[in-house]
């Protein structure tokens, strides 16, 4: 009875030690007698006692490695520190287990050498403005290099680029000078636009004044022309009335003389009288002398 109980207890212990439940996003690499057997996925799995063992437990989640800053030298011989962040995922647990010793350390060293190679072909200014290009190149190189290790490199990010202090001071001065230049350009453009607007305003004002003077001159000329027309109409009407009243040539000539006197208006020192008016004046004097006698 005791022997049976001991057997049952041993069996229970063996089952407890050799039954494994693989959770989500994990994989177990199994070896039998030191050789790769298979890879356990999610679910309940049992090891054969004394022959099978779990060689490695692998996480299938995306992982992040933040490497310390690495010294790199640019094409124009500027030494600076760059730290990178790698996002990767294990796609093949078997290759990850047997492909390379210490995979994370291998990725770190591969990242450092790749970064030095890429930065060594670029100048400082280009390095500071080409992060996306550097990230893309590094991801492609690392992803291709880590395929035999069962690793998929999803993203590579340059977390920080730290040039020397002297370079930083020079860059700060350059940026300040650039900001001042842009400010001067904007101020000049503003003054230019202001001058243009003022000139356009003066031009429009001059045009409006000229048009006003032109309009006033036209209206004044039209008024004078209309006044002349009215005077001519009045004279014509007066002559018509005189003719209708039966006035003879002498009367008409006297009327002309009156008009001539009005023209002189007492301002002229000499008045030249036409011959027709002289005859009329002679007749008038004879008529006036006869009347007095």
Distance of CA 146 to the CA centre of its chain: 42
CA distances from 94 to 18, 44, 56, 240 (A): 21, 19, 9, 133
Distance CA 271, CA 202 (A): 54
Chain-wide mean pLDDT for the chain? 80
Position of tokens 């350059």? Answer: 174
Question: Could you give the count of Cα atoms lying within 13 Å of 241 in the half-sphere of its Cβ?
Answer: 7
pLDDT tens for residues 156-175? 988 888 887 777 677 777 77
pLDDT at 267 over 70: no
| pLDDT value, residue 291 | 42
Give 51 or 258, the one with higher predicted confidence.
51
Lowest-pLDDT range of 80-84, 137-141, 164-168: 164-168
pLDDT tens for residues 58-73? 999 999 988 888 888 8
| pLDDT value, residue 230 | 78
pLDDT tens for residues 206-241? 888 888 888 888 888 888 888 888 777 877 777 677
Distance CA 81, CA 103 (A): 24
β partners of residue 36 = 31
205: helix, strand or coil:
helix
pLDDT at 9 over 90: no
Overall pTM > 0.85: no
């Amino acid at each position: 009875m005791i022997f049976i109980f001991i057997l049952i207890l041993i069996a229970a212990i063996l089952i407890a030690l050799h039954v494994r439940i693989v959770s989500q996003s994990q994989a177990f690499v199994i070896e039998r007698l030191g050789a790769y057997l298979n890879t356990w996925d999610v679910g309940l799995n049992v090891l054969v006692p004394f022959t099978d063992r779990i060689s490695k437990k692998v996480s299938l989640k995306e992982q992040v490695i933040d490497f310390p800053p690495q010294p790199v030298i640019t094409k124009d011989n500027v030494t600076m520190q760059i730290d990178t962040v790698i996002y990767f995922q294990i796609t093949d647990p078997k290759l990850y287990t047997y492909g390379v010793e210490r995979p994370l350390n291998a990725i770190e060293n591969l990242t450092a050498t790749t970064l030095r190679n890429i930065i060594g072909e670029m100048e400082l200014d280009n390095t500071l403005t080409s992060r996306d290009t550097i990230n893309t190149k590094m991801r492609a190189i690392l992803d291709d290099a880590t395929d035999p290790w069962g690793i998929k490199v999803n993203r590579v990010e340059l977390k920080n680029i730290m040039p020397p202090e002297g370079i930083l001071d020079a860059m700060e001065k350059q940026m300040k000078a650039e900001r001042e230049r842009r400010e001067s350009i904007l101020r000049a453009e503003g003054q230019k636009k202001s001058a243009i607007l003022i000139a356009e305003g003066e031009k429009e004002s001059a045009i409006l004044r000229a048009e006003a003077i032109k309009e006033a001159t036209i209206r004044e000329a039209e008024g004078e022309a209309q006044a002349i027309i009215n005077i001519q109409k009045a004279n014509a009407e007066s002559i018509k009335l005189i003719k209708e009243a039966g006035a003879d040539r002498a009367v008409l000539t006297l009327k002309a003389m009156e008009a001539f006197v009005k023209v002189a208006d007492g301002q002229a020192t000499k008045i030249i009288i036409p011959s027709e008016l002289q005859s009329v004046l002679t007749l008038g004097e004879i008529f006036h002398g006869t009347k007095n006698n």
